[in-house]
Chains A and B, each alone.
Chain A
């Protein structure tokens, strides 16, 4: 059986059949190099004890055997006793390292969980769309939680599930590596890579449907225009609370900005994965960011003939555009791309 080395982890999986033999349920066990040495030494001591009848050698042999058993029990307790969840607090950009939070939680009232890793399960057959760096918690106190932020890199835009992960521990002695497979990870939205280049856009006259003239500046100089229903991404401070209470739904104030020009970005429909289409998506995303952040313009997005993102401005409007660009085209992401919680706003 060929040996192979798992990426991101120094442990060499020498004999996969051993792991198969030592697997049960969602847990598996591997013997480390130090563990092999210790096992060999234990066997040698046991052999010498039996061969010589030396009483103290018997005691040493018993202590070594018990340490091996204790190692197994303690490591099992560590991986079973901790609840691990990985999530992305914010969308990632393809090709740019982002942050994934790993939450270690110890529900037990008394036991401490020590030295647990959480990392991508390198044994899954699927090619991962995301690489998440390992997270390590040296100690998780009883009824406590530890949050670690680790680097994650997405390879393609879309909505992806975080790769299957495993909780690993070599605690207490580093003789064995106990691992427990976790369920499928949370979905994470990956914005397209930002790549400057020519894009197709059209400018239009003044438009009242804008909320902010310049990035970072409030629209205090704009006059009240109308009330409209709350859309995801709207700034909470724009919520008109009294009208919302009367209407029993969230309403936000729309204000007329002075001199704002609407720029409409055009993206020709295409198939996700096609080189030309992906390039167009990346350029559109870069242009939207430049227009909204640097130039403070009001931007709309058309996908073919359809206006998929109405005119708007501000950082949340950029999120709306990028969310659409992340999922447009026939996504190769499969089910994850159709996650209703991450569907682009219309």
Chain B
């Protein structure tokens, strides 16, 4: 029963861990994970009981399995549906897993889930959780092996196993710990030294995926929660050496999705603006061949590098920042790039990734990468200079290009009062810049809030933007951006809404900039003729700053960010070149295998010997202490007996001495008998001197000392005392 109960609890923990690992890798669904967790709790609560009522549970699980099959077949969502199926099937096997065979099937399913998680889960939580999982799985397998013997050889063996449970369980745990340590060491060795090949020629297509959640092709006002406010890092940005960020990181805007069509409170992309790009030095550069947005210039050491192309009437057009971005898997194919991006290219971290990742330019100058699940690393070239108000004013009211005519028309669903408001706000504006500023200043007087105050006030059939403009006058950045874009369009100014992230934080521990989910933002781009699209942010800046995280006080978060960054760089991004670097460093720069081994042995051997000696010493001391602890107690008992006139003869056991004393109704007999029971069990019965037995022996020795104090001893000769 003990082994069965332990096995049930282990299984429950394994299921929760395996499900959590895949879910943290953003595959599978929360309902499936929740169902598995509920089953795990139920199994743990009823651990070891012979009968378990599970008809209702089985019905729920089979319904979930059917739903995941339908989801996979109908919605073509194979990866998530497959993981859900595995999670629910594992839960079902755990639920009915009374026999070793079923439990082995459960273990195999959990192992498949962990393997899947190792592909999709690139977070820092994977190593500790998977290490814990390995220990539990190994302990479970070892326990199952003992249970299998009981099943195979019948009830008598089962009884013996149950009887020896207290001895077996610690031994099994020690074996499992040793095997786990070996497995983790083996995993680390293969990770470090097994050469990466990754031709990926045998697999095609099924794992690539595109947008699911987060940034998507649509934005629905009123459906709050699209932009999350949690501090989870979304991307890490590394500037090229020597680059000074201008503007400062706090003012950075990282473009994500661009929306140009508004209808019924929803923004979407029209796809009517064909992407124009060219290739330059491995980069995908915006703009046609004749006028690319970036040009090669001589960089440090004479090496060519890309720089934003000059623009007439825009003095800071060539202000350029270059760097790399490590973007977590947001579930979309859009790459986030520093405003205003002019060029980008993927930096694959393995041949597999190079084979599977394709970069493309979307409408409105966005970059998209179709790639395997997981994070992606890419380089960017961005124009960081912004036209001055004078330069913007100088453009006057430039004509709207034919291709952008749709972006300068009023939204058809809006009531005339929106147009009236826009005209009232822009009355007296001499040029487009003044029109934009007038609208922006109007909106800056509104309240910024993450609460949805607009939807409750919205009348039937009323557009959310109208509710925001005329009733609530409070909302989050999407409301501000939508309102500004629609007001500008109402007066014939081409405008579009951009979703992305605003602001970044410098992490001095990891030396990178981090952008979090809480930095998600929405703003507006207005077309200024020859100067192109120019960004305007109508959201009150002070309010957003108050809503963001106080980074200076969160040292722990910075440390965690740095750790996660190191993990992503050195573990997830560990590639063949890094392996070669490691080998080269180990070999002192020669790179020859023999030298590698020799040098590694020279470096590792002393540490290994020291570690071995330390472990040996500590184990020896602990063992001696453990052994001596009972011996010391026995000596103390003997001294107590001798001091109070009841010396134990050398050829008499504690138990026999207690019996001799009991014949004289001596008060020392009872505690001495208790001590003898523990002493014999440990000395001769191979029982471990665990905390419980140690306490019992200690208490018996204390009681003995108290009992003999002042009590007259029995006559020596009759009691056979020494």
Contact = CB atoms under 8 A, between A and B. Distances in A.
Contact of B198 (A50, A65, A115): A50
A53 B686 contact: no
Taking residues whose C-beta sits less than 8 angstroms from the other chain, chain B's interface range is 35 or more
A171 B145 contact: yes
A173 B196 contact: no
14 contacts: A51-B198, A52-B119, A53-B352, A55-B574, A56-B119, A56-B126, A61-B190, A66-B186, A66-B187, A67-B183, A112-B175, A114-B172, A117-B153, A136-B157
Contacts of A71: 179
Given A59-B190, A66-B182, A66-B183, A172 B118 contact: no
Contacts of B174: 112
Interface of A: 9-10, 34, 37, 41, 45, 48-67, 69-71, 74, 112, 114-115, 117, 134, 136, 138-139, 141, 144, 148, 170-174
Given A53-B197, A69-B186, 4 more contacts: A56-B126, A66-B187, A172-B175, A173-B142
Contacts, number: 166
Interface in B96-151: 104, 108, 111-112, 114-115, 118-119, 121-122, 126, 130, 134, 138, 141-142, 144-146, 148-149
B145 A63 contact: no
A274 B510 CA distance: 92
Given A45-B115, A70-B179, A59 B187 contact: yes
B164 A139 contact: yes
Nearest to A56: B118
A66 B141 contact: no
B142, B187, B189: most-surrounded residue (chain A CB, <10 A): B187
Given A63-B187, A67-B179, A70-B183, A51 B118 contact: no
Contacts of A139: 164, 167-168, 171
B352 A62 contact: no
Closest 6 CB pairs of A and B: A53-B198, A66-B186, A62-B190, A53-B350, A63-B187, A56-B118
A34 B104 CA distance: 8
A66 B142 contact: no
B149 A138 contact: yes
A237 to B, nearest CB: 26
A51 B167 contact: no
Contact of B168 (A49, A59, A67, A114): A114
Interface of B: 104, 108, 111-112, 114-115, 118-119, 121-122, 126, 130, 134, 138, 141-142, 144-146, 148-149, 152-153, 157, 160-161, 164, 167-168, 171-172, 174-176, 178-179, 182-191, 194, 196-203, 350-353, 571-575, 686
Contacts of B152: 9-10
B194 A62 contact: yes
A138 B118 contact: no
B350 A57 contact: no
* A51, A52, A74, A144: residue with the most chain B Cβ atoms closer than 10 Å: A52
B352 A54 contact: yes
A51 B573 CA distance: 16
Contacts of A114: 146, 168, 171-172, 175
Contacts of B686: 141, 144
A74 B175 contact: yes
A55 B572 contact: yes
B142 A51 contact: no
Contact of A63 (B153, B186, B199, B571): B186
B592 to A, nearest CB: 24
B153 A59 contact: no
A136 B149 contact: yes
A172 B171 contact: no
A59 B131 CA distance: 11
Contacts of A138: 146, 149, 157, 160-161, 164, 168
Contacts of A172: 138, 141-142, 145, 175-176, 179
B405 to A, nearest CB: 47
A173 B138 contact: yes
B189 A62 contact: yes
A281 to B, nearest CB: 34
A114 B161 CA distance: 11
A165 to B, nearest CB: 15
A63 B144 CA distance: 20
A52 B200 contact: yes
Most buried by B among A148, A171, A172: A172
Nearest to B162: A138
B102 to A, nearest CB: 12
A117 B575 CA distance: 47
A57 B25 CA distance: 14
A56 B175 contact: no
A74 B180 CA distance: 13
A58 B194 contact: yes
B146 A57 contact: no
Contact of B118 (A37, A54, A70, A134): A54
Contacts of B171: 112, 114, 139
Contacts of A117: 149, 153
Interface centre among B194, B197, B574 (most CB of A within 10 A): B194
Contact of B188 (A41, A62, A74, A136): A62
A270 B223 CA distance: 103
A114 B139 CA distance: 13
B118 A52 contact: no
Contacts of B186: 62-63, 65-67, 69
Contacts of A34: 104
Nearest to A110: B623
A197 B144 CA distance: 52
B194 to A, nearest CB: 6
Contacts of A54: 118-119, 198, 350, 352
Contacts of B164: 138-139
B160 A171 contact: no
Contact of B145 (A50, A58, A59, A173): A173
Contacts of A53: 196-198, 200, 350-353, 575
Nearest to A63: B187
Contacts of B198: 50-54
Contacts of A55: 191, 196, 350, 571-574
Contacts of B175: 74, 112, 114, 171-172
B200 A51 contact: yes
A177 to B, nearest CB: 11
Contacts of A9: 152
Residue of B115, B134, B182, B196 with most partner-chain A CB within 10 A: B115
B352 A52 contact: yes
Contact of A57 (B119, B153, B179, B353): B119
Q: Which of B111, B188, B201 has the most CB of A within 10 A?
A: B111
A117 B145 CA distance: 12
Given A45-B115, A63-B134, A174-B141, A52 B350 contact: yes
Nearest to B194: A58
B197 A50 contact: yes
Contacts of A69: 182, 186
